[in-house]
Amino acid sequence: MNSSLVTRLLSQKIFKLLALSLALVLVSCGQQEPAVGPTESKPQANKAAQLVLSNAKVYSFRWPDPNSDGSPAASAPYDGGWHPDASTVAIRNGKIIYIGDGKQLEELIDSSTQQLDMKGATVIPGLVDSHVHVEELGEMLRRVNLVDVKSPQEAVERAKQFEKQLAKDEWLIGQGWDEGAWATNYPNRQVLDAAFPNRPVVFKSLHGFAIWANSKALQLIGITDKTEAPVGGEILRDEQFQPTGIFLNNATNLIKDGVPKPTDTEFKQFVFDGLAQLAKDGYVSVHQAGAATAHMKAFESLRAENNLPIRMYAMLSARDKPLSEKWIKKGPYSDPQGWLDIRSVKAYYDGALGSRGARLLEPYSDLPDHKGISGDGYGFDGDIVEDLLKAGFQVGIHAIGDAGNRETLDYLAAIYQENPLVKNQRNRIEHAQVLSEQDIPRLAKMSIIASMEPPHAVEDKTWAETRLGSERIKGAYAWRSLRQASVALTFNSDLPGSDHNIFYGLHSAITRQDKNSQPENGWYPEQSMTPEEALRGYTVWAAYSAFREEQTGVLDIGRWADITVLDIDPLQVGETAPTKLLDGNVLMTIVNGKVVYQNEQLTKTETQAKTE
């Protein structure tokens, strides 16, 4: 056989082999191993689980988002009613290594595996509160809690009981009275003077946009009739031009700056206590909305000690200019283990609706010729925020009124035009509380996330329409309108501004009723969320708002083992008997595969070598 023929035959043979190999590759690519279905994920062999949750009602949330009208995706575990898509979760080294019905679990269990019988409890992706002021929660655990007080006198009586534990010269600090509900008849310092003539008293409001102080506190801080209100603030005065003891919006800083500061150790303890309480309440992560230098010092210290009870997403305070300038040079930081991410910034554009600081397009319905304050008038530093954006930080801008929101959108749009890539930073509007109908689609077009608080709607309903009128109120707390416009949402509590209890949050989103189930059919119920949407707001969507959708928000193999266990099924109960949501309890919180909280209702089973 001549050499040319041999060469030709070998070439044909090699070509056929290459063709066969290519075909096999193409088949392999086009016909991959069947994807694991919603009820079973394959276990990873030869790696024993450290923790197994069994006999549970597991909702993995591995299916797509619901449609804009709230109807579930076709692949959701929904057939006219919700049902769990798994019963067992196995964890190793902080990650999920198995999720399914337990049939393929044997090889993942050995004598070291801890097995917990969930006894039919509901297992969901770990809860995230995406807008908190965590040190204030920790501080409230050690201060006078004024949440839900109905009158100034009730606040005084509660404070008198608390005063018994204070030293003689110690300041009496409280928080929680509702500045919106009391705005038409604010109390004065004389009410506090009568009860506390010799002790300095400072009561912060529910949402932090008002402070009520007594004469002793004003004297020690140095507030007189000559004291001028800062930009964006107001000092209420009597007929003699003396301060009444009520400070609104940015004027609250006059009091906050004068109150004795906690030591670094005390502040760090406030942060730790707040995070520890949130772990008990089912949260695996929070977004600190405004982290100043003191916050960052505490966060970074706790992280260095491996002592953060839950994960922290720090939103730097744009009001802290030296801190902001420091991080502009450093750039955003994502913790490889996900315990402390520093890649966002919080800024304030206008004030609050309750204290009439929110900027409106037209005057307040109950205060003609007043439109609120915003932008430069509220101390918004557009230059530093722009520099942070250009440095790669996500920005979350507090905007409440319809004008405040429009101006915020205009501000961001101008930056987007000059720097188009900034649009990809998942920028947020914190609250997005009152929106003009024509501005709602702009949020979607600009890829803005609306970071909203379901409890605010049901807490503000007694006075919000008085502020806005019957037409403008239709664009307030407008979750469904935003969903229909394809705007991304995340839900939160703004704690301690609202009760951060997850069942209250879900109930508010689903029913638009208060804790007394009022009003009967819900307040503007056309804006309500379905149970799935409400729960996604605190899980899947919250994870997306922090750039962590690949690690958390969903229960699946390879993802963080961040899990919340509840004693009721919020999807089923939320659909059939939503009022009963308020009776729910958190049974367990798992962060990074470790049980950080366990309710007494849920007891351990004996460690076994195999599943039953």
Place of tokens 């919080």: 346
Mind listing the pLDDT tens digit for each residue in 13-54? 433 443 434 333 333 333 333 333 344 555 555 589 999 999
Query: Closest Cα partner for 92 from 40, 57, 39, 45?
Result: 45
Provide the pLDDT for residue 497: 86
Provide the pLDDT for residue 44: 53
Give CB contacts under 8 A, 24+ apart, made by 512-516: 512/457, 512/458, 513/458, 513/579, 514/458, 514/459, 514/461, 515/582
Amino acid found at 203: F
User: Within 515-583, where are the H helices?
Assistant: 531-537, 540-545, 570-576
Provide the pLDDT for residue 603: 59
From the CA atom positions of the chain, what is the Rg in Å? 27
For the chain, how many residues are written? 612
Q: Are 561 and 592 in contact (CB under 8 A)?
A: yes
Q: At what angle do helices 382-390 and 402-418 cross, to 10 degrees?
A: 50
Burial class (CB in 10 A: 0-12, 13-18, 19+), 396: buried
Report the phi/psi class of residue 93: left, alpha or beta, with left for phi > 0 and alpha for psi in -120 to 50: left
The two structure tokens encoding residue 416? 């987007």
Provide the pLDDT for residue 611: 33
* Largest Cα–Cα separation, the chain: 119
Q: What are the strands of the beta sheet with 210-213, ordered from one edge?
A: 144-145, 172-177, 201-205, 210-213, 243-249, 233-237
The share of the chain scoring above pLDDT 90, in percent, equals 84
User: For residue 340, what are the β-bridge partners?
Assistant: 312
Cβ–Cβ contacts within 10 Å for residue 33, how many?
7
Mind listing the pLDDT tens digit for each residue in 154-201? 999 999 999 999 998 899 999 989 998 898 899 999 999 999 999 999
pTM of the model: 0.85
Domains and CATH numbers, the chain: 43-126+554-612 (2.30.40.10), 134-256 (3.10.310.70), 264-553 (3.20.20.140)
Pairwise CA distance, residues 557 & 553, whole Å: 12
Provide the pLDDT for residue 35: 33
Pairwise CA distance, residues 189 & 182, whole Å: 15
Mind listing the pLDDT tens digit for each residue in 202-220? 999 988 889 999 999 999 9
Provide the pLDDT for residue 42: 58
Lowest mean pLDDT among 105-109, 313-317, 465-469: 105-109
Query: Closest Cα partner for 299 from 135, 136, 142?
Result: 135
